[in-house]
Amino acid sequence: MARKKKTETQLPEAEAEITRQPITETLEKNYMPYVMTVIVSRAIPDIDGFKPSQRKLLFTMYKMGLLTGHRTKSANVVGQTMRLNPHGDAAIYETLVRLTRGNGSLLHPFIDSKGSFGKQYSRDMAYAASRYTEVKLDPFCQELFAGIDKNSVDFVPNYDNTMEEPTLFPTTFPNILVSPNLGIAVGMTSSICSFNLAEVCDGTIAMLRNPNVSVEHMMDIIKAPDFSGGGFLIYQRENLQRIYETGVGSVKLRARYVYNKSDNSIDILEIPYTACIESIIKKITDLVKDGKIKGITDVRDAIDLNGFKLTIDLKKDTDPDKLMQRLFSSTDLEKTFDCNFNVLINGAPQTLGVMDILREWIQFRLGCLKREMAFDLKKKQDKLHLLIGLAAILLDIDKAIRIIRNTVKEEDVVKNLMDAFQLSSVQAEYIAEIKLRHLNREYIANRISEIENLQRDIAELEDILRDDIKVKREIAKQLTEIKKKYGKPRKTMIITEDSVTEPLAEEEIENYPVRAILTKEGYFKKITMQSIKGNDEQKLKEEDEIIYLEDTENIGELCVFTNQAKLYRVRLCEFENTKASMLGDYLPAKLNMDEGEYPIGGKVLTSYPENHSFGFIYENGKGVKTPVKAYETKVKRKKLVQAYSSAVPCVGVFYEGDKPVDVLIVSEHKKGILISSDLIPSKSSRGSIGNTLFELKRGDKVAYASSQFESKYPDAASLCRKRKVPTTGNPM
């Protein structure tokens, strides 16, 4: 019974009380420190181009003497690194693997490796255990540690306060742009692509000489990203300029291949940096099984000692270039690398473009080099001070010896020398420590002969430290030497956008009737006519409406005009068939449109007829027609800029075929005009804004214009049948 009573006894009121804490306070005290730790101490690289785990690993190898010594077991390095990075041996070894020459992730590897370290392009080629592999620092790492022992960067205690580690590396080149880095923090990510070392050195030198160098000039020097996997980069200057200015954007990469006529096969020798060979093989296999791609008999991994190779065996009479064009559009043989240059600057994350990163690195390097020079200056000044004291006793060496010999107490020797020769305590201590055999004129004369050189070096260092321009010259000199010593040709070749897109062979596309539907919010549907028979009620988002609807064929090409005066072209066969009950594909995402860009009109074309036109109605009531032929290019381009005049916002786009169409124009004040397209002027130039079609009152502007207006304005359609156009009135 007693035991039962004890069990039922209630806890004291103080112990049972629950402390209530506002959620905002919980986030501030518990979650935010975790967030900042992940951002600052784990996932985001600093201006030296390294995350903390990479920096701790490389510094440990430096202190182990692996910059000049022989290789050691990776397990030894991992164990030593845990003195700085106590996150487990597996995480440390994964960090080490990515920095090795064997893995192939970096253009300039930091670790010279021996053994199996997997491959950057393979998911299944696992690296060997740390006890089987050997590593040492690559000679390239000399550029990371130059000046690190001369107080060029700050040091902080490690986690248990038993040793010190650098907060940054005093890199002599902008490693942040040379080594690619990917990181996922809390609420932000970092995705930094690599650039060619020689180009980065030249670009940095150009900015050192002219801090206000233009981004256009910089793009001519640092031409584009360069990846260790090679391949081709499809040059899109507009996208690259955005990356150089803001640090956000994307670059499109494409595999490099050769056709072997002798055995009728394609050898893919380089693939995009983030692509995986196993995923590519699986995707090609699935496409062949599903019958979406024909002409392939086998696809296999042919990697050997000569490097990467993916071989595709072809059927007889298969066109290799057309086949590769299909594979580029359907597999990771063509892939986009998304850039998001998040970098830690003075401990705070910032999104910077290439230009701003170079400016920040120059300021960082200026500080490092000044601290290094100040260290050397102090050493030389201290040595000069000692030699001046040594020169003082040269006039009477016997007197110095006599003072030392006749001094009774050892602690009085320094004081007596100071009094006799007017020396400082440091100088007197130095002289007192000289061996007796060195107290001769020859030794002392040889030592003090350095005074003149020291004075010249000190004056030179002081002169440089007083002038930032001279310090920048030293940085430029170092960059020139680095380029000469370590510069390599580009691995990723640059090709123009016009030279890469070719039309798919129409006979390879299954053709059947479809209905194309484009909405104001940017959703596109391709619906088979058989599916429409079952349900013709279109599902749309709330307040969305159809701006283009047409029955056409699957071999057609969808032309989409956007509010930013651009034209996007994409084949209908690249869209999956959908149903009326679904929203469809979101074009701004599928076509990689810019932020704030959306469709304002569309049309499916199978050819570019001579007498057909696109019409554009502008906000100020003006309108113009442009021949369809003006949009035909020799090479099929997926995007055209300046597709129409951007001087005034365009409200609507219509298409005029063999016969004129009726176009309804409605203003914000709900006034409208119904006009025949043959009354709208035609201009051959895509930049023309046309003539005034609708006289607007002050403060009014066009809000709607379309040739497919029947569903939205049925009264206007009735008016069109009863009267001749143009007719003005209230369409409501």
In angstroms, the CA 123 to CA 276 distance is 6
Fill in the amino acid letter for 720: C
In angstroms, the CA 356 to CA 40 distance is 20
CB 315 within 8 A of CB 296: yes
Inter-helix orientation angle 425-432/354-394, to 10°: 60
Between the CA atoms of 571, 575, 576 and 582, what dihedral angle is there, to the nearest 10 degrees? -140
Fill in the amino acid letter for 206: A
How many CA atoms lie within 13 Å of 706's alpha carbon, on the beta-carbon side? 23
In angstroms, the CA 548 to CA 565 distance is 18
- Strands of 310-314's sheet in order across: 256-260, 265-270, 310-314, 296-301
Q: Are strands 189-192 and 181-184 parallel, antiparallel or unpaired?
A: antiparallel
CB 675 within 8 A of CB 709: no
Query: Which among 34, 132, 512, 586 is annotated as catalytic?
Result: 132
CB 688 within 8 A of CB 638: no
Q: Are strands 493-496 and 232-235 parallel, antiparallel or unpaired?
A: parallel
CB 664 within 8 A of CB 716: yes
User: Could you tell me the two tokens for 282?
Assistant: 């699986």
> Is residue 132 annotated as part of the catalytic site, yes or no?
yes
In angstroms, the CA 139 to CA 145 distance is 11
In angstroms, the CA 495 to CA 557 distance is 25
* 3-class state of residue 404 by DSSP: helix
In angstroms, the CA 241 to CA 237 distance is 6
Could you tell me the end-to-end alpha-carbon distance of the chain, in angstroms, rounded to an integer? 88
Calculate the alpha carbon distances from 416 to 387, 408, 423, 425 in Å: 19, 11, 10, 10
Q: So which residues are the catalytic ones? A: 132
